[in-house]
Amino acid sequence: MASRGTLSPIVFGVPGLLLVFRPRFFSGISLRVKPVKDSILLRGRFLPFGWFALAEAKVSTRDVEGAVSGMNERVLLLSAPAPRIFLVFTTSSVSRSRAEEVTLKRMQVAARALRSLGVYLLPLDGSEAFEVSQLRATRVDLPGQNILHSLSASDYGALSVEAVHGFVARFELYERSYGKGAPGSLLAKPNRRPGSSTTLRELLSAATQRTGTPKPDRYVEFLSSVAATEGETLGQRITQTVRASDNQLVLVASVGSPQVELSRAQLKAITTIYE
């Protein structure tokens, strides 16, 4: 305005007002993502400096709530068609290579803390992570102040929670809309605060009473074998590699483990996390 610019107030003022009075407008834009080819990453469509990745918790313990409760990364629990637990990793970076480096380093730290507790991390391929993150759902308002009771009694499709030093900082519940409405994004930062001090273990225990807990599968055996052979060469750790029919996936096995199906981006990420 001082330099007599006629468009400056509009160009800078309108986005500023939207940011102040309609923060969800920018939040929705930032959560529009697309999978990165040959990578475990998701990238923002309109804010390309935002990156996301998902890693599934494959469990061989009955106390999965206790194991995951020590994580500082965002935890995402899905209830259908089968209970699944994920860690959500987010970062900001100008380049893809830097985003991958930071994300894999954080996954490595989390994987080392979890494996002694019977939980192993399986990074998702970008295309699979995109499908998981898109859920036709609406946020649920919990009745009453007893959050733990409401969690064990409510019907919901997903729970997103962030914790600090083992205590819940923010959480969000999503109810499935069964084909109605536009798909929401489970990558959204949770906004609901617990009414009282609640540990992440308490919250997850209440949620899994309703949804159930993940069951061990062949990926647990594969990942535990890869983790046990860290420090060995790749040729010694991966004993079989067979190209799948679609040429996008490979069937791999580690020492003493059954074959599992992975994308090449997943295989590279796994060997980096458990190197």
Q: What is the pLDDT of residues 17-54, one digit of tens each?
A: 655 554 444 444 546 899 999 999 999 988 889 999 99
Q: Are residues 230 and 128 in the same domain?
A: no
Q: Is 86 within the bounds of a domain?
A: yes
Q: Are residues 190 and 254 in the same domain?
A: no
* pLDDT higher than 90, residue 273: yes
pTM of the full structure: 0.84
Query: What domain range includes position 111?
Result: 26-211
Q: Are residues 47 and 76 in the same domain?
A: yes
Q: Is 12 within the bounds of a domain?
A: no
Q: Are residues 239 and 112 in the same domain?
A: no
**184 three-state secondary structure:** strand
Across the range 103-127, mean pLDDT stands at 96
Reference 154, options 201, 203, 196; nearest CA is 203
Residue 173's CB: how many other CB atoms inside 10 A?
24
- Residue-level pLDDT at 245: 61
Across the range 47-64, mean pLDDT stands at 94
Stretch among 4-8, 32-36, 131-135, 237-241 having the lowest mean pLDDT: 4-8
The last residue of a domain, from among 211, 235, 262: 211
Q: Is 117 within the bounds of a domain?
A: yes
pLDDT category of residue 195 using cuts at 50, 70 and 90: confident
Q: Is 176 within the bounds of a domain?
A: yes
- Residue-level pLDDT at 25: 41
The last residue of a domain, from among 179, 211, 243: 211
CA 165 – CA 151 distance, rounded (Å): 21
CA 238 – CA 128 distance, rounded (Å): 23
Asked if residue 190 lies in contact with residue 178, where contact means CB atoms within 8 angstroms, the answer is no
- Residue-level pLDDT at 178: 59
DSSP category for residue 155: -
* pLDDT higher than 90, residue 155: no
| Amino acid at residue number 146 | N
Domain count, the chain: 2
Q: Are residues 261 and 136 in the same domain?
A: no
Across the range 182-199, mean pLDDT stands at 81
Q: What is the distance in angstroms between the CA of the first residue and the CA of the last residue of the chain?
A: 57
Reference 34, options 204, 185, 212, 248; nearest CA is 185
- Residue-level pLDDT at 138: 76
Across the range 64-91, mean pLDDT stands at 92
- Residue-level pLDDT at 262: 94
Q: Is 257 within the bounds of a domain?
A: yes
Of the ranges 12-21, 121-130, 225-234, which is most confident? 121-130
Q: How many CA atoms lie within 13 A of 59 on its CB side?
A: 17
Stretch among 17-26, 56-65, 195-204, 223-232 having the lowest mean pLDDT: 17-26
- Residue-level pLDDT at 134: 83
pLDDT category of residue 87 using cuts at 50, 70 and 90: very high
* pLDDT higher than 60, residue 180: no
Q: Are residues 160 and 250 in the same domain?
A: no
| Amino acid at residue number 243 | R
Q: Are residues 85 and 106 in the same domain?
A: yes
Arithmetic mean of pLDDT over the chain: 85
Across the range 174-181, mean pLDDT stands at 65
Q: Are residues 57 and 183 in the same domain?
A: yes
Q: What are phi and psi of 26, to 5 degrees?
A: -75, -35
Q: Are residues 170 and 250 in the same domain?
A: no
Across the range 174-184, mean pLDDT stands at 63
Q: Is 167 within the bounds of a domain?
A: yes
